[in-house]
Structure 1
Amino acid sequence: MDIQNIQDNTNSNSPLGARGHQNSKTAFKQACEVIPGGVNSPVRAFKSVGGQPVLIKKASGSRITDIDDNEYIDFIGSWGPMILGHAYPPIVEAIQQAAVLGTSYGAPTLLETEMAELIVSMMPSVEMVRMVNSGTEATMSAIRLARGVTGRSKILKFAGCYHGHGDSFLIKAGSGALTLGLPDSPGVTESTARDTLTANYNDLESVEKLFAQYANEIAAVIVEPVAANMGVVLPKNGFLEGLRKLTEDNGALLIFDEVITGFRLAPGGAQEYFGVMPDITTMGKIIGGGLPVGAYGGKKEIMLQLAPAGPIYQAGTLSGNPLAMAAGIVMLKTLKENSDIYSKLARHAEMLENGLKEGLDKAGIKGVVNRVGSLLTLFFTENDSVESFEDVMTSDKDRYAKFFRLSLEAGIYMAPSQFEAVFISNAHTDEDILATIAAAQEAMKQL
């Protein structure tokens, strides 16, 4: 089916036939009375794109539906974990079966071991794994582990990378902090800030200078192997390899934050995709099939330092929740046993990438589309490329905001921020991608 046929076949229930949002407006106003800003995670608030968020009532496959019964082709996918699509029937069935047996025990289960074995079999550098409840909890625990193992205090991170809302990470952070212009959050103490060093992504020289100054104090370098929280920024050739060598040469650990890239770029994440092995890997989102979950893992000699095997304490009452484990096992088994999923994801992402680039050319607008696998970002920038935090910050946020609102009204739900990623799912069809290209190109004409 071509774009023209899709446009001709739209009706009031189709993704290109957007309607009003009165119910969402009323509900959001009510939410603001009892929830700070009306949302439980800042980027949902639409502050950087204007207007008010639509409230979602259901989702299936590649589509979400708001409380005004407007349907959208969804490219957020709960910020990445819905790689098989919303309400994937085998995952729903697994959750239902687990819930009948009890929703939480606070005691070990066979499901936890099965999940750990799956992760170890898929992630090349991971020999042991500890389950937690979120990506933020995973990264916070990983840096505590790194500090405990090395006996050092400082963590080196990169401007624009986001590793959750832990105090150590809210220094020149990405994602919601960048979107709202709050890279340094009140409540982060000076002593914590002193122990956080910030280098420039894709700039090995900036890392080398910090190691030269603090060589015996840096416990770990933590990095998104593909930066995806300032928009998608790919690592330059040699960057990840350079981090690996610098950390090894200086007795520090290398932490890959694969909360987004893990199991998405490849069954073994970015470390498999790029062939660079970290000491510790953090995971989240995808391994719970959409339920709240996280994990971190690494070499046995490092992981065995965790209590109760070792002296470094970390705990969680709901860690390894049976519902999340049941859902995640189905997710990971499906990805492990169906490698063709990744080629389909990449094909659809490439279709969208090319369609967006074509739209920019037709509209006479400068922009850059960065893509790796099934992750991509459209930057409205005068730059010819986007390879760093500085490049990202040249983006025209007002132009993106208008593009977002026009796309939303056309039934396309993208990230409400210039500094986030588009996530392709296995549920997206050729028709979905063609419809999205048509809507995006029409929006670009109006910019």
Structure 2
Amino acid sequence: MTLSSTLYAKAQTLIPGGVNSPIRACRAVESEPLFIARAHGSKIVDVDGREYVDYVMSWGPMLLGHAHPVVHQAAKDALDAGSSFGAPCPAEVDLAQAICELMPAVEMVRMVNSGTEATMSALRLARGFTGRDLVVKFDGCYHGHADPFLAAAGSGVALIPTSFSQGVPKACVADTLVVPYNDLDALKTLFAEKGKDIAAIIVEPAPGNMGLVLPRPGFLEGLRALCDQYGSVLIFDEVITGFRWSLGGAQGRYGVRPDLTTLGKIIGAGFPVGAYGGRRDIMEKLSPCGPVFQAGTLSGNPVAMAAGLANLRELAKQDYAALEARTGAFAEELAAIVRSKGVPVQLNKVASAFTLYFTETPVTDMDSARTSDAKVYTAIYKQMREQGVYLASLGYECAFTSFAHTEEDLAKTLAAARALKL
């Protein structure tokens, strides 16, 4: 028995399912989880000493690679000065300034401790600002596990046949309206009926939790126009896309300005962190300036702030276009290899992220994502892991590259793909 298996057996007696986030259990790919001992650059190493080329990258934030020396040193220096103060620290001001300078639609920002905390706070703020209750989300977009967002879910519960989690009162999702992603006509119909009561649209501008799905031309612009017409708040959930799609996030790449933006992952460089920000007139509704309450003892944690600031400063020096070109070419070759084995493949790719869907159907929303053959993905996951390539433990996810991935890493991955038996 491997040490990972031993730890997993013990963990299941102490932690529900043996994991602290459901997807880590690897049940969708009929496997046991690997317990990770350390990581460096593009690699992770499990407790049994096996090294893997990593395409999960902590689910996105490690765009510079694991344990980047500049980020690592910034965190160590901050830790030496104290891990938490429960009071303002200089780094949170500096990180807020960096975010406001880089994200086109963010004029003010507040730090929190997770993406879920960011989205639930942004929704409360939008409701407080508009005085309305209804919120629109899109099937397959995942905005964390707060009750109002579990009317329909993304990757974490996409394989569960119920539409929302048990334990969520009906009243908590009664004001959540769910529309297919990329269906602007359905959204226009909904707004024509209920627009005067809709506080906000919340959307992943390019969803990453039904696999990677790209917005159709005009879709994001259509959301902006509807919110302008009806006085609703447009919220971009850029927890995944922020600073990965570009230094200005998806809003910088697509040229559509939301009213509020939620962030996470990259702004903490692997530390627990989230943030939400946007128009000054909306943000100033937050206490202590205004009547919308939100608080957090560890918000603005000095270690996370220092690491996140160092991360953004280092990312500003990187060649995003070159990484996108390398990632796109690699993903195309990977898709071609799988197709050569008689498996239908749809490839969605942008920036340093991609998803392979095993279906004849172009994937533009959750319904088409569901046509992907989960058994094929399970076979690929298992065989690639045996060959030292670490993929997401569910097919409804993105694969992420980083500035640390080398040509040798990509070549090893393609060689492992050529050896697949499907």
Worse-matched range after superposition: 392-401 or 121-130: 392-401
Is the contact between residue 75 and residue 413 of structure 1 (CA under 8 Å) also seen in structure 2?
Answer: yes
Is the contact between residue 338 and residue 417 of structure 2 (CA under 8 Å) also seen in structure 1?
Answer: no
2:333 matches 1:355? yes
Structure 2 residue aligned with 1:237: 217
2:23 matches 1:43? yes
Question: Structure 1: any 5+ residue segments left out of the alignment?
Answer: 1-20
Structure 2 residue aligned with 1:396: 373
Deviations along 1:126-181, one digit per CA (max 9) or x if unpaired, are 00000000000000000000000000001100000000001011122102111455
Q: Alpha carbons of 1:182 and 1:27: their partners in 2 closer, same or farther (altered >3 Å)?
A: farther
Q: 1:162 aligns with which of 135, 142, 147?
A: 142
Worse-matched range after superposition: 156-165 or 351-360: 351-360
Q: 2:37 aligns with which of 45, 57, 81?
A: 57
How does 1:17-416 map onto structure 2 within 5 Å?
Answer: 22-181=2-161, 183-336=163-316, 338-340=317-319, 342-383=320-361, 385-416=362-393
Per the TM alignment, residue 345 of structure 1 is displaced from its structure 2 partner at its CA by 2.1
Is the contact between residue 161 and residue 223 of structure 1 (CA under 8 Å) also seen in structure 2?
Answer: yes
Q: 1:421 aligns with which of 398, 404, 408?
A: 398
Deviations along 1:62-93, one digit per CA (max 9) or x if unpaired, are 00000111110000010000000000011111
Is the contact between residue 351 and residue 433 of structure 1 (CA under 8 Å) also seen in structure 2?
Answer: no
Distance across 1 between alignment mates of 2:387 and 2:183: 39
Is the contact between residue 179 and residue 417 of structure 1 (CA under 8 Å) also seen in structure 2?
Answer: no
Helix, strand or coil: the match of 1:415? coil
Deviations along 1:90-109, one digit per CA (max 9) or x if unpaired, are 11111111111100000011
Distance across 2 between alignment mates of 1:361 and 1:116: 45
Which 4+ stretches in 1 moved above 2 angstroms?
179-183
Distance across 1 between alignment mates of 2:19 and 2:263: 24
Identity of aligned residues (%): 50
Helix, strand or coil: the match of 1:219? strand
Distance across 2 between alignment mates of 1:212 and 1:188: 29
The amino acid across from 1:84 in the alignment is L
Question: How many corresponding residue pairs?
Answer: 422
Is the contact between residue 120 and residue 128 of structure 1 (CA under 8 Å) also seen in structure 2?
Answer: yes
Two-structure CA RMSD over aligned residues (Å): 1.0
Q: Alpha carbons of 1:180 and 1:27: their partners in 2 closer, same or farther (altered >3 Å)?
A: farther
Q: Alpha carbons of 1:56 and 1:180: their partners in 2 closer, same or farther (altered >3 Å)?
A: farther
Per the TM alignment, residue 188 of structure 1 is displaced from its structure 2 partner at its CA by 1.2
Worse-matched range after superposition: 157-166 or 344-353: 344-353
Distance across 1 between alignment mates of 2:409 and 2:322: 13
Deviations along 1:409-440, one digit per CA (max 9) or x if unpaired, are 01100101010000111100011111111112
Distance across 2 between alignment mates of 1:248 and 1:366: 41
Per the TM alignment, residue 357 of structure 1 is displaced from its structure 2 partner at its CA by 2.0
Distance across 1 between alignment mates of 2:161 and 2:110: 33
Give the TM-score, by structure 1 length.
0.93
Per the TM alignment, residue 225 of structure 1 is displaced from its structure 2 partner at its CA by 0.2
Per the TM alignment, residue 214 of structure 1 is displaced from its structure 2 partner at its CA by 1.1
